[in-house]
Structure 1
């Protein structure tokens, strides 16, 4: 990766040096040169820097911003603004610092501004072409990575399962048996577990699923966890939802690792225990926060969030929501806190 970066930087530097030499040998920026002087070289050098700055502002900043939410109209207007701004600045520099070394009898501000504008229009076109090429290549790479990771996940899933369809049928039989014996509590547990398995086996094999379905899965998981806990702990477990969840979709099974970790490491017998899960949805974003208690002598941040689980979540987020998410995982005095923000 570093080798490709160095090679790419070397190629860019070589192209700009070649263009600079071309301008030095072929361009008279204002009229006819009166004398050979170092200031002429400086004028061309500053002009080359301006061209490079305009090129990389368009390709590395403005166009990537468009993929993150800038509208095409806003991008075009900003490009026009940069074109005018750079052309004016270059023209002012030409006439403010280098006019004494040129004959200006046949060229004025308007003529030089026109020349700079033509050059900068070409630079913007090349910058936009390069920026779009980079975005396209990045998108293709992400698609390849996603396909590869999806295939790997499917293979791992097939290796890990022990005839899950058979297990699902057994759960249904156990549920029927519990109902026949009027064991409603056991029937409720089996029903929650069966709903979770149905979601994992039959509904989550898609790229995006209704956010409402994902939340139902989280709620089933939380309900099952509550059934194994003492009544003293239950009031300290909260799951709140705000916003119009029916309007949105999300990658399936994306949020559950954070909730699993909270229950795995947040329950401390003999210590103050709490787990707070909060999900808020707006038209533009999803905000997901999970907080859980830790014991004073706990040193499990690495095992909780630094292992394979977090790496898999980060990898999925980067592939499915590139540049569209913010993930924060912190350890405070008495709690672990996860905050995930997704642009919807």
Structure 2
């Protein structure tokens, strides 16, 4: 007996057997599979097979002869669908990686643009605040200057009063010029302070001695500090540290480099110190200066310290340069 198969219908025939109606058939697709139940119908119906390689095996049980015969009838190879192929997996994986990279880069770009936009906005706001503070500083300075002029006129002759008013006008012009800038060089600040001190010292008959000390490592030409930073503190010395009874009045302004990025400025005098009325006096100029430093150098915590002692007063200012 031999089997032949008509593959388009999955039907097979037993040829050369005298009692074909006495035959029973069963099949399996792999040796590892269980046999199907016996059937007298010589066909196989396979509705679905997953992708794999199959070797169709037929077992024929001859009821007449009482024996079984096996045939390897057909090899079936079912290819996987394209979405299960290795090349498709690589394409999908590559697209996924590319999409992730693009998403990360896009997110970083948007975050950078947002940070830059916020920084620009913050810079504009800070600049506006600083300009507003400087606009407050100018009337404050002018008000105090006019009081000084009034005091000088009441206590001195007309000639000196005229000279004083002329010098004060020159100083106020320098003040207006400097206030147009957020920062100036230390050299320009020193020149400005010398003019201011010379004018204020006239009320004390030039008795107040002042010194300016510069660190030998400090290059005052390129180093810049906030405009009108020191004037309020010097002004407080003339207003509160000394009076007519003060003996050998003196103060010093010292610039010192603490490290390559930090500058210390100390203003110390031998005035009233602990008995000084300015301990309870809140200077508007100093308050504005502190507010300006908060905006200009937000990372510089507690940049201004004022210490009173029996020997006088010391103002310490730390700046990031």
Question: How high is the TM-score relative to the length of structure 2?
Answer: 0.49
Instruction: Give the number of the structure whose residues are more often helix, by fraction.
Output: 1
Structure label with greater radius of gyration: 2
Question: How high is the TM-score relative to the length of structure 1?
Answer: 0.46
Instruction: Give the number of the structure whose residues are more often strand, by fraction.
Output: 2
